[in-house]
Amino acid sequence: MNHTILIVDDDRMVAASLELLLRRAGYRAESVFRMADALPAIAEHRPALVLLDMNFTIDTSGKDGMGLLKRILAAYPRLPVIQMTGWATVQLAVEGMKAGARDFIAKPWDNRELLNAVAIQVDKLPPGFGHGGAAAGAGEGNEGAMEVDTFSGIIGKAPALLAVLDQARRVAATQASVVITGESGTGKELVAEAIHAASRRAARPFVAVNLGGVPAGLFESELFGHKAGAFTDARADRKGRFELAEGGTLFLDEIGDLDPAAQVKLLRVLQERQYERLGDSKPRTTDVRIISATSRDLHAMVAAGTFREDLLYRINLIHLHLPPLRERPEDIPLLAEHFLASARKRYDRPTLQLGSAAIQWLRHQPFAGNIRQLQNLMERTAILAPANVIQVEDLDRQSRDTGRMAQPALGGITLEEMEIRMIRAALARNGAEITATARELGLTRAALYRRLEKYGITP
């Protein structure tokens, strides 16, 4: 089936060449040249994805595009939008990603990179999205729609992993509460998201809360919300996670970290399906599916008296256990190649490869941080490896030097990664010419040099 891609660009030449490119790749393509036409065109064509030019000629700051991006996402929160910008500034790209854009492409674009970015977004669509008049964003009826395996992004072939995924697929369709156990970085959240995306709740929100990171005093406000004035810092009304997840899935990460008082409060809501915002006596009914995760042994905690048995019974209808990476070494080369493939694109190093000794070396690492650690290692090495074939020394150096780059992610990409990616792409486009690259990025030469040094990029 052909997905429709909507192009919003005031430059007709650009729109025409994008249309041609997308049609050759097997998509249907439609263009509009005025911002005012974008929302009506989405309603008419039900596209699977929008390519949105952020710089309409009247204003090159990108503000117009940003306003339109926000309006599109307000009307169609789940419609993937890729930003396109000819005046690539990190600031604009970051702002767009924060507003909910899925990716950004700098103009002039690279055809392969663009098609890749489109395919990634379109492949991720849950059933029923964006083709042949199906509901894009509105989330209504998806009967008879295309089949998308929401587990397909979970890489691995080890029998122990496949068995868990098989079980997860089967429970997805039910309303059953699920506990996912496994060490840190084994993919618990990824599996929780896949279950949600394969469930009947897919068009409703998936809301994650890390209970280990919520201070005891803020537990109720975080989960149930509060009314303004409920306590000293409560200046305005606030929705809690239960309310945000209404109709969807609430992912309770690190549930083993809950103190006894919080366990009682959570149990009450799960039993009665009702809660109140802090400072508000009006009871609210909740319809959420609970998926919990922990790296602890909850049964042992029950035996030790630190976790309530009745709460465990409520949350643990189905138990899935993700094996640590060291117990499935056959998955390491697959995962390494998977992370390398995205790093190649992200850092504009299309010829980067893993040497065979390096693959063997990886297979023998303990990976206490599991897949997250392997992912970080591959990313860092892809940025910093001096040659095109990654050697054992490159991996070894980066793995000893861990933690420095670990930063909160922004739609999966950290600000630093975003900057590195933009700089590399701009250098490639300008034949490594510093003045031209700096101009394109809107930086002074000195500022560009400082960043090259900071990130160890050799032009």
Which residues form the interface with ligand ATP (CB under 6 A)? 154-156, 182, 184-190, 253, 293, 295, 335, 338, 371-372, 375
Q: Rounded to whole angstroms, how far apart are CA atoms 40 and 353?
A: 45
Angle, to 10 degrees, between the axis of helix 188-197 and the axis of helix 159-172?
40
Alpha helices in 127-282 (DSSP H): 159-172, 188-197, 219-224, 241-244, 260-272
The least distance separating ligand ATP from the CB of residue 165, rounded to whole angstroms, comes to 9
3-state secondary structure of 77: coil
| Residue whose beta carbon is closest to ligand ATP | 187
The least distance separating ligand ATP from the CB of residue 76, rounded to whole angstroms, comes to 25
CB of 189 or CB of 396, closer to ligand ATP: 189
Q: Which residue has the tokens 């000893």?
A: 400
Angle, to 10 degrees, between the axis of helix 370-384 and the axis of helix 392-400?
120
CB of 7 or CB of 125, closer to ligand ATP: 125
CB of 316 or CB of 370, closer to ligand ATP: 370
The least distance separating ligand ATP from the CB of residue 268, rounded to whole angstroms, comes to 26
CB of 223 or CB of 291, closer to ligand ATP: 291
CB of 97 or CB of 293, closer to ligand ATP: 293
| Contact indicator for 173, 200 with CB cutoff of 8 Å | yes
CB of 72 or CB of 165, closer to ligand ATP: 165
The least distance separating ligand ATP from the CB of residue 440, rounded to whole angstroms, comes to 31
The least distance separating ligand ATP from the CB of residue 190, rounded to whole angstroms, comes to 4
Single-letter residue type at 130 = G
Paired sense of beta strands 283-285 and 274-276, if any: antiparallel
CA 87 to chain centre: 25
CB of 283 or CB of 412, closer to ligand ATP: 412
The least distance separating ligand ATP from the CB of residue 73, rounded to whole angstroms, comes to 23
Q: Would you state the structure tokens that stand for residue 53, as one six-digit string?
A: 């030019």
CB of 207 or CB of 371, closer to ligand ATP: 371
The least distance separating ligand ATP from the CB of residue 110, rounded to whole angstroms, comes to 25
Single-letter residue type at 129 = F
Single-letter residue type at 428 = A
Q: Rounded to whole angstroms, how far apart are CA atoms 154 and 68?
A: 33
The least distance separating ligand ATP from the CB of residue 203, rounded to whole angstroms, comes to 22
Q: Exposed, middle or buried, 321 (CB in 10 Å: 0-12/13-18/19+)?
A: middle
Q: Rounded to whole angstroms, how far apart are CA atoms 220 and 207?
A: 16
Element (H, E) at 274: strand 274-276
CB of 408 or CB of 431, closer to ligand ATP: 408
Q: Rounded to whole angstroms, how far apart are CA atoms 177 and 171?
A: 9
Single-letter residue type at 148 = V
The least distance separating ligand ATP from the CB of residue 136, rounded to whole angstroms, comes to 25
